[in-house]
Amino acid sequence: MQRPRRVREDDRSRRSVEPAASVSLKYPIDLYGDGEELSELSFRRATLGDLAASDRATGDLGRIIVLVMRLCGVTRGEAEAIDARDMVAVGEAIADLVGGFDEGKEDGEP
């Protein structure tokens, strides 16, 4: 008999977290080919696990795709369907969420 999975407090709080950033897409993604569109991406805060997963991807675009998938909860196909002209805003949102990591500074430090 398999024991039920225990839900840690961290797991519960992660699911209900307010978005850390959002980007309105100028060119919405057609999700299922039936007219249902995704017109906004909501990003949660990044974790070290997210950054480690993106490091395993190949190339800068591969890293961005992995971060969009993980931080927005979209599929690879949905992430890859983002119009290139929306990538500036998406890239800025990601940079804001992980920007202090590259410089070894916390948010708000000069």
Residue 5 inside a domain? The answer is no
How many domains is the chain partitioned into structurally?
1
Are 31 and 37 in contact, with CB atoms under 8 Å apart?
A: yes
pTM assigned to the model? 0.73
Rounded CA gap, 69 and 60, in Å? Answer: 14
Q: Give the pLDDT score at 65.
A: 96
Residue 9 inside a domain? The answer is no
- Closest residue by Cα to residue 66 from 83, 82, 84, 79: 79
Residue 8 inside a domain? The answer is no
For 12-52, how does the pLDDT look when each residue is reduced to its tens digit (9 = 90+)? 444 445 788 999 999 999 877 778 899 999 999 999 999 99
Residue 47 inside a domain? The answer is yes
- Closest residue by Cα to residue 41 from 1, 14, 68, 6: 68
Residue 67 inside a domain? The answer is yes
